[in-house]
Amino acid sequence: MRFSRTARAALFFSLFPALLTAQATQHDRDFWRAIAHDHYAVPTNQSAATLAHEISQLLGSPDPELRDDLAYSILEHWIYRPNILQTPDLQALADEWRANLKIGIGESGTNSTLKRSFSALCLSLLAEREAKQPFLGETRYHQLLTDAVTYLQSERDLRGYDGTLGWIHANAHTADLLQALARSPMLTKEEENSILAAIATRLSTAPQVYTQGEQDRMAAAVLAVIRRLDYDAASFEGWLTRLQDEDKQVWANPITLETLARYQNHTYFLQGLAVRLSLEQESSRVTDFKQKVLGILRTR
């Protein structure tokens, strides 16, 4: 039976998503396990770039072995090792993972969070490499910073660890990304402030107390910003004061779960930041920051 040109086109486009999925996931679990077992070496006669894009499809898998133990771990080794993924490959992955941050945004309790969260974590690997061996270029770097800040404030799924899904940890992974981005000389003063503002918003608006160390990961991101020599110490004091001001009415009647969650998240964040500052090499600047944080903690 012969089909008209219109019918053939309709048939192709109806089958295209299935064909694309089959192509994207052409290798099975054992293939990826073999790579991990072979010290993450790229298989003979295989393209690392092609495999990296293929395995990126598994970042949204509800199977923690496929998503975390294999996809993330393989990508981590290939990104950190020189001469495996070249600049165009890394840039293409950055573009793909940035786009993933927007897929299903606003949903909570669904598996769409997994792709967003682990894309943010993989982007943190790229940002770490960028800080040591620049490859993104200014346009991509600043766009990634903007998207990371937006994503941190927009993500509504705050789950940490799930007994079935494993790690979800979207806020912690995005804090890791911001921490890595803050090490770049391309970071502007406006972007420094935008990172701290986004973290303040995330701490203040969480409807629950974080229980999987998210506050400490955010503290690490803040430290990466205030450690920079171009960061204005007076701005940090003002930022801390605003956090403290938000909690002034926490014990007023009626006490609410929302204000208690905000107070506890702020407290655990400040504790984490104080410890991290204490581990820094001593300097008058670090001592000043640490005393400001401890001053607030003494009132809590």
CB neighbours of 168 closer than 8 A, spacing ≥ 6? 113, 114, 117, 157, 159, 160, 161, 162
**Burial zone of 160 (CB within 10 Å; 0-12 exposed, 13-18 middle, 19+ buried):** middle
- Would residue 40 count as lying in a domain? no
Domain count, the chain: 1
| Residue 161 domain-assigned (yes or no) | yes
pLDDT of residue 249: 87
Which stretch of DSSP H or E encloses residue 182?
none
**Structure token digits, residue 273:** 């930041």
- Could you tell me the sign of the dihedral formed by the alpha carbons of 54, 56, 59, 60, in that order? negative
DSSP letter for 70, please: I
124 contacts 176 by C-beta, under 8 angstroms: yes
Q: Residue 122 has what pLDDT? A: 98
Closest CA to 161 of 173, 147, 177, 149: 173
3-state secondary structure of 211: coil
| Peptide bond before residue 254 is cis, with ω within 30 degrees of 0 | yes
Q: Largest Cα–Cα distance in the chain?
A: 83
Q: Which residues pair with 167 in a beta bridge?
A: 161
Please report whether residue 103 resides in a domain: yes
Structural domain contains residue 173: yes
Q: Is 61 left (phi over 0), alpha (psi -120 to 50) or beta?
A: beta
pLDDT for 228:
96
Give the pair of three-digit tokens for residue 50: 């092609």
- Phi and psi torsions of 298, nearest 5°: -65, -20
- Contact, 28 vs 54, CB < 8 A? no
Q: Per the structure block, which two tokens stand in for 73?
A: 């771990």
Residue with tokens 């990304």: 177
Say how many C-beta atoms besides its own lie within 10 A of residue 232's C-beta.
Answer: 13
Phi first, then psi: what are they for 187, rounded to 5°? Answer: -65, 130
User: Which pLDDT belongs to residue 4?
Assistant: 52
**If you write DSSP's letter for every residue of 100-167 in order, what string do you get?**
HTTTTTT--SSTHHHHHHHHHHHHHHHHHHHHHS--S-HHHHHHHHHHHHHHHHH------EETTTEE
Which pLDDT score, from 0 to 100, does residue 292 have? 96
The tens place of each residue's pLDDT in the chain, 300 residues long, gives 444 554 454 444 444 433 444 445 689 999 999 999 999 999 999 999 999 999 999 999 999 999 999 999 999 999 999 999 999 999 999 999 999 999 999 999 999 999 999 999 999 999 999 999 999 999 999 999 999 999 999 999 999 999 999 999 999 999 999 999 999 999 999 999 999 999 999 999 999 999 999 999 999 999 999 999 999 989 999 999 999 999 998 998 889 999 999 999 999 999 999 999 999 999 999 999 999 999 999 999
Query: Residue 91: which residues within 8 A CB-CB, separation 6 or more?
Result: 135, 136, 137, 140
pLDDT for position 65: 98
Q: Can you give the pLDDT at residue 43?
A: 97
Residue with tokens 């973290």, as numbered in its chain: 199
What is the pLDDT at residue 25?
Answer: 62
Position 218 in a domain = yes
Q: Examine residue 267 and state whether it is found in any structural domain, yes or no.
A: yes
* DSSP alpha helix (H) spans, 41-111: 48-56, 64, 73-80, 87-100
Which pLDDT value is given to residue 112?
98
Please indicate, yes or no, if residue 99 is contained in any of the structural domains. yes
In a domain, residue 57? The reply is no
Domain that holds residue 170: 86-297
